[in-house]
Amino acid sequence: MLAFAPASIAFAPVTVRPSAPAAAAASIKMRTDDTFAPAGMGKEYVSKPRKPLSEYVGASLELDPGSFFAGNAPTAWDPVSFTELYKVSGNNPDAAWLREAELKHGRISMLAFAGILAQNGGLHLPGEQWVHPDWTSAWGEVAASNPLATVQVILGIAFFEGVTCRGIFDLWFGITDIREPGDLGFDPLRLMPKDPVAADKMKLKELKNGRMAMIAVAGFAANHLLPGSVPGLSGFMP
């Protein structure tokens, strides 16, 4: 009898209760009803009404079908509530700044996507330093063979950022009086329509193509770091 007692105890079910820190962490939620800024020291400024994400082009309202079928107004797709952080503190960016960052990353990714495919296909600038087809090591190859090329690229980026930075810091606080997010004043081909509805459609096209390009470039990088992780790229891209 005594021999079987430890075995029965050993197989007895054990109830695991969540620890107090885990339960407390699960109950933490971001408060947007109080900026935690003292009156007269930024609270009035931070609490000013701003343009919500739902009023921006490409807010992905279609990703909230539940509200649509329930007869309610759909909400913008922001599962991590990045665009609500400005309500907590003025140290957090407004949706205008986040839209500027998204557009810039999308434009760079579109250029990178086209450049990677062109370089991989053998299309490159004249000169021996540009013939390397592997995009993952091309920058190092060019820097080793012609260091001045790297300096020229950096100076070019600095010049472009300098002439287009007017009003960019105001976007952090949602101020768009000087310029709208992503509007660099550069449209030599006059592709942006004058009609507001048509202009919003053009902005949406750029935004969606930029998002696709960011995913595509991330796929190129994943395939390089983890060969075979992206179907269809094995043997095609380095």
pLDDT at 6 over 90: no
Question: What does pLDDT average to over the chain?
Answer: 82
pLDDT at 148 over 70: yes
Picking from 189, 171, 188, 172, the residue whose alpha carbon sits closest to that of residue 180 is 171
Q: What is the reported pTM? A: 0.77
Q: Which of 7-16, 148-157, 207-216, 221-230 has the lowest mean pLDDT?
A: 7-16
Q: Above pLDDT 90, what percent of the chain?
A: 32
Cα gap 36→145, rounded to integer Å = 55
Q: What is the mean pLDDT of residues 35-44?
A: 64
Ramachandran angles phi, psi of 213, nearest 5°: -65, -40
In a 10 Å sphere around its CB, with 0-12 CB exposed, 13-18 middle and 19+ buried, how is residue 53 labelled?
buried
| Span 76-107, pLDDT tens digits | 999 888 998 888 777 889 999 999 999 999 99
pLDDT at 132 over 80: no
Cα gap 170→166, rounded to integer Å = 9
Write out the two tokens for 25: 């962490």
3.90.550, 2.40.128, 1.10.238, 1.10.3460: which CATH number matches 95-225? 1.10.3460
Q: What is the mean pLDDT of residues 178-199?
A: 91
Burial 191-219 (b: 16+ CB within 10 A, else e): eeeeeeeeeeeebeebbeebbebbebbeb
Confidence of residue 12 (pLDDT cuts 50, 70, 90): low
pLDDT value for 162: 92
Q: Are 120 and 237 in contact (CB under 8 A)?
A: yes
Q: What is the mean pLDDT of residues 38-63?
A: 79
Q: Above pLDDT 70, what percent of the chain?
A: 79
Outline which parts of the chain fall under CATH 1.10.3460.
95-225
pLDDT value for 28: 59
pLDDT at 1 over 50: no
Cα gap 34→42, rounded to integer Å = 12
Q: Which of 123-132, 136-145, 153-162, 184-193 has the lowest mean pLDDT?
A: 123-132
Q: Are 200 and 212 in contact (CB under 8 A)?
A: no
Picking from 94, 104, 79, the residue whose alpha carbon sits closest to that of residue 214 is 104
Q: Which of 29-43, 138-152, 194-208 has the lowest mean pLDDT?
A: 29-43
Write out the two tokens for 213: 């390009």
Between residues 36 and 138, which one has the greater pLDDT?
138
Between residues 228 and 38, which one has the greater pLDDT?
228
pLDDT at 9 over 70: no
